[in-house]
Structure formats: C-alpha cells, structure tokens
Amino acid sequence: MRLHKVHLTADGSQRQVVLQFSQAPNAIHAFPLSTPTRLVIDVIGPVLSLPSAAYPAKDTLLRRVRVGTHPQHLRFVLDLKGEKLPAFSVEQQGSRVRAVLQTPDRPTPEVRAQILFESPEANSFAQPTPPPADSGSGSPRSAQQVTAAPAPPSPLAPSAPRTEAASAAPRSTPASRPSPARATPSARRPERETQPGLFETLRDRLDVTGYVKNETALRLYSPHQFSKSQNWLQAEIEFELTDWAELTILGRSMFDPVNHLETNIEDFHTSPIDRLEAGDSFQAELRELYLDVLYEDFDIRLGRQQIVWGESIGLRILDVINPQDFREFILNDFIDARIPLWSLRVDYTLSDWTFEGLWLPDFEASRPADQGSEFQFRNLPLPALPIQPPPPFPSVQVGSVRQPEDWRLGDSEVGFRVTRFLRNMDLSLNYLYAWGDFPVPFRRVLGPNTFRFEPRHERFHLIGGSFNYAFDVFVIRGEGGLRLGEHFVSGDPHDRDGVRQREFLSYVLGLDWTVNDNLMANVQFFQNVIFNAPGALVGESVENAVSLFLMSDFINETLYPQLLVLYGINFGDLLIRPQVRYDFSDYVSATIGADFFIGSRSGLFGQFAAPVRTHDRYWTGRNSRIFLEVKRSFAL
C-alpha cells in the first residue's frame, strides 16, 4: 500500500483532508490528542516503509500533516491550530481515507484547495476508485467511519475549560499554532487563468479574524450585584510574508464599568510598552506579536507569545512558562489568563523526534487580585515573627518587590523539551530554569520586635515530563514536574529569614474516555509533595485533588453542555462549573453557566465559599455566581 496524495479543501466552516492510497486499507483508527491539538489517524494494512515526513498547509485551522511508518500501519498526525479540537469524522471509501473537520469558529470566505503531497505514481490514480457496493444497499461494503464530538480542552494553567470550549473564534496557542508552510517539490497549487493583481495577492496572504463579546456575572449571595460586565474586542492578523515566514499580531481591548478591572499593575515604564490602562475600567493590550520562520526542519518563533507545555485539565503542572492573571481566580478564560512574554522558541524535527529550545529575556510576575477585590487570595502564607514580650509593640515594614531585570542576559529564563511520538504514545522530557511567578516574603529582624519583609523572586530548576497513551476509546495521560530548590514559608520564628528550600513534586494522572459520539469524559488525580518537609512549614506537605470533566453535544453540534468539578481532598472544598453553550450560527454563540464555591475556607476553592468582611463591604467569600456570555466572531 503506497501513499499517492494528501489533499486539503477548505469550504466555509468545513475542512476535508483526503488521503489517497494505491489500494484499500484493511482498517482505520482515529483518535484525538491535545497539547498540542491534533488528530491521529492509523491506516492499517500492508504498508510500504517510507521515511517520516511533514507536509505543511496554508490554512487557518490545519498546520501540517505528518506521516510515519509503523509495523503494519501508517500513522498520520493532523497538527491543528487552536486549543480546541473541532468535531470530526474519519471514513474510509475504498482506497481513500477522508477526515472531515467541522470548525464553526474560524470560517473561511471561499473554497480553497491544496495538494500537500503527490507522488509521481498518483497521476495514474487521478480518478477515485469506486468501492464495491454492498448488496441491497447504496453504501460501500468496505466503508467504515469514526466520528467524535469535540475533544475536551486542556487548560494547562489554573483555569477551567469553560471558555475554551465556548470560544466562537478560538485563538491559537504556541503549541498548536502553525508556522508558515514551506514549499516542497511535490506540492502543487491550483493554476490561475490570469495573473492575480496586487490586491488579490495581499488578500490571499492576509487573514484577519476576531470577535466581540460580553461576559456578565451576577453574585448569588450578598451583595446581590453584578460582579463583572466585561466587553471585549479582539482582532488577530496573520500576514504571510513569504512561503517560509509569517507575521502574527493579536490585540484586544476590554471595558468593564462594573468591576473596574481591579488592578494596580502599571508597567508603562517598561520597554517596549505592551499594555495601556485608562482609568480603572478600560484596558488595551498587545497580546501577541511574533514572526514565524520555517527553514528546512527548523520552526522558529520570535516575539511576544505564549508557550504551552503539559497535558493537565483545570490546574497547571508543567504549564509554568508564562505567568498567570488571577484577577478572576481560575475562572477566567484559560487562554486569556496566561500572560504572553517576549521570547524565542526554536523547534527542530528529526524523524519522530522534536527538540525545542526556549529563551525568555522578558519577565512578568503573575497578577494576583487586588486587596479588597472579590477574588483576592485569602490564604497567603507569611513567615512567623520572633516576637518578644512588649514593649515595644511589634513593628513590621514591607519593602518593595525585587524582581529580575528585563532583557538582561543573566536574568533570562531558558528551557528545553524533547518529544517523541512512539507507536500509540506521546512522550516528552522537559527542563526549565526560570523565576518564580510570585515573590518570596523573606523576613529580616531589624531590632527588638522590629521586622521587615523583603519580597523577591527566586530561581528554580524544573525537571519533568508528560505522556499520553491511546487505546480503543481511552487515552491515559499524565505529567509531572520536580522543582529543585523551591522556597516555602516557615512558621518557625527561629528560622533566620523565615524561608526554607525544599524539593517540590507536582504531578497529575488522568483518563480520557470517549463514551460515544456525543459524550467525552475526563477524570484526573493531582498531588503535590514537599520532600523532607518539617512541621514548621506553612501549608500542607502533601496536597491531593481530583477533577471530573464532562462535555457533550446535541442538535447537530449546536448545543454543548459541559461540567467541570474540582475537589480538594485535604479540606473537602469544591469548585463546580456547569455551563451550556448554543451556537446560533458559525459566528454567533451564547453561553450560560454558573460557578459554585463550596467547603472550608482553608482550601484553595473554599477560600471563596465563606463570607469575609473587608473594610465596610462583604466582598470576598461566598463568591458563587451565574454568568452569561454572548459572542460574535468575524473573519475578513
């Protein structure tokens, strides 16, 4: 069995990838994978060994098609843009295998066709081979089909997948966004009868997409009021400079007259300026600005971007490269909560191996919610104070936060990752040398009952890896990371600076189950372990949590109910997030849902379940709410 052709057509919200073979395969098997988002198709039968290859595509959804030879089958991997795999179906029709992707989020204005690969023998197979008819029916006897609902998203930062699945125009992420396609000798483009003009040439190289949306949330407990009414405008421009280089610009603005954004973050003095705030209700931000260069087996991305590692859903384990915006705790859209950084990422592909190197000269800390705001952290640890009997009464000073200097070589962050696709398993090995996203509150004793906190960011080494193994309708996944030299607050007043260093392990094990064509389920177990933790450390030395995620679709893939439950075992606290999204069209959607906080205020989720008085208002605690999101996407 030889591969003769790989053909892509883009028609409105539908993509079709057709694999043409010299003879009919014995069987096919398809399953989705995430982080990065991809669809794997195993074509089973007597195969002719061929070297691993990648066929880039110029498309708003499909990045490239990779092929590799395995015993008794060929494996095709469709690398996709975005973090949400759309609904798909894969069917065999004689010697053809057709994958259909339904993507209502990023429609294309016209039909586009590309031949990604064509062998010299393909000309003799230009006409499709009609499959034998099944007696008594009009369907092919050899036809078989695999269908699936959209796979669950993989939020790798502390964020629930509500808006990941709800996005009507999902923005791509660094792990799954394409680099510009490079020309190959076997690639052929559709011939034009006339030479295109300048406007047609620019239009063909320019893609503009985006959305406007409103997110409104209402508190369920006192005070019964709107906790937010955010109005978003986001636009993304992708400009193909050459066959091997592409420029991407993504900007957004947000206006919220209700919650007033609740931010004290100002970085106008930094260079370059990438964020603008007017008053306390309006914010405009350059989210991403990067250049993609594809040269032979190198994939280079330079500029302001997001870099995603890991496989977990709901809580992040390996996804610690970009800092996080916690102004809405972990309820914010996963892809909106991550803070992009100016950085360089270089990928080198060698057969089934991919080597990735990172350099990040830019530093930003994670953004906690402001003091007095709805989602300010309640359980911040501070070192114990060696207080002597008064007088004098204790006096505490707090110094300014010391953080790394941007664009200073010695303060840069670096990382390295090796990935390999081996039979039915994806494997990765990761290393990161980076700064902590939150400052460590070191304590100094200035005199009798006189203390000073001097917060500063500290380095750590992260060694970890991830895997996922697919079989039948299941995918077993996991990831873990060991931090060397992590800093923890001590409750021992006799510690010199109130901080101790320990090794810290964080990992997750999960199972994806495609129950049927309309239901996807995921369960996970999380655990954090501090090695050799003395009893003086503030917080738990071992923390456990579990999660459940369900997502389905009805009414011809227009109605999408889903449920996310996060349960902290140590304190018995819960975050429950049901929601339903309805797609009125390819461009318009509405989502209604709720966020319920339950349990002890000592837990990660329970800290927002009990009322806490701040100043003259009840703001924090009992933060359960209902929300409505209305979204209108566009493509120019």
The string of DSSP letters for 550-609 reads EEE-BTTTTEEEEEEEEEETTTTEEEEEEEEEEESSSSEEEEEEEEEEES-TTSTTGGGT
pLDDT value of residue 161: 41
Nearest to 432, CA basis, from 465, 408, 404, 479? 465
Domain limit, last residue, from 188, 218, 245:
188
- Same domain (yes/no): 212, 67: no
* Lowest mean pLDDT, pick from 271-285, 357-371, 394-408: 271-285
pLDDT value of residue 5: 87
- Kindly state whether residue 329 falls inside one of the protein's structural domains: yes
- Kindly state whether residue 413 falls inside one of the protein's structural domains: yes
**DSSP collapsed to 3 states, 397-444:** EECCCECCCCCCHHHCEEEEEEEEEECCEEEEEEEEEEECCCCEEEEE
For residues 417 and 427, give the distance between their C-alpha atoms in angstroms, rounded to a whole number: 10
> What is the β-pairing status of strands 395-398 and 450-456?
parallel
Neighbours of 337 (CB within 10 A): 24
pTM above 0.85, yes or no: no
pLDDT value of residue 223: 78
pLDDT value of residue 35: 64
- Same domain (yes/no): 268, 164: no
Select the highest-mean-pLDDT range: 225-229, 540-544, 555-559: 540-544
pLDDT value of residue 412: 96
For residues 591 and 522, give the distance between their C-alpha atoms in angstroms, rounded to a whole number: 21
Confidence of residue 185 (pLDDT cuts 50, 70, 90): very low
Confidence of residue 279 (pLDDT cuts 50, 70, 90): low
- Kindly state whether residue 194 falls inside one of the protein's structural domains: no
Nearest to 29, CA basis, from 97, 128, 102, 131? 97
Select the highest-mean-pLDDT range: 13-27, 218-232, 451-465: 451-465
- Same domain (yes/no): 177, 252: no
Confidence of residue 181 (pLDDT cuts 50, 70, 90): very low
pLDDT value of residue 152: 40
Number of domains in the chain: 2
pLDDT value of residue 121: 60
- Same domain (yes/no): 282, 373: yes
Full residue range of the structural domain in which residue 579 is found: 201-635
For residues 230 and 39, give the distance between their C-alpha atoms in angstroms, rounded to a whole number: 34
pLDDT value of residue 363: 94
- Same domain (yes/no): 154, 46: yes
- Same domain (yes/no): 460, 563: yes
Domain limit, last residue, from 188, 212, 231:
188
pLDDT value of residue 376: 85
607 phi and psi, to 5 degrees? -60, -20
- Same domain (yes/no): 157, 206: no
For the segment 58-67, what is each residue's pLDDT rounded down to a tens digit? Answer: 777 888 888 8
Select the highest-mean-pLDDT range: 121-130, 235-244, 372-381: 235-244
From the centroid of its chain, how far is CA 44? 32
- Identify the CATH number of the domain in which residue 54 sits: 2.60.40.3500
- Kindly state whether residue 195 falls inside one of the protein's structural domains: no
For the segment 564-615, what is each residue's pLDDT rounded down to a tens digit? Answer: 999 999 999 999 999 999 999 888 999 999 999 999 988 999 999 977 655 5
Say which amino acid occupies 225. Q
pLDDT average, residue stretch 97-122: 70
- Same domain (yes/no): 179, 207: no
- Same domain (yes/no): 141, 262: no
pLDDT value of residue 455: 95
- Same domain (yes/no): 220, 108: no
Nearest to 58, CA basis, from 292, 290, 346, 306? 292
pLDDT value of residue 183: 38
- Kindly state whether residue 196 falls inside one of the protein's structural domains: no
- Same domain (yes/no): 163, 47: yes
- Same domain (yes/no): 283, 359: yes
For residues 427 and 81, give the distance between their C-alpha atoms in angstroms, rounded to a whole number: 20
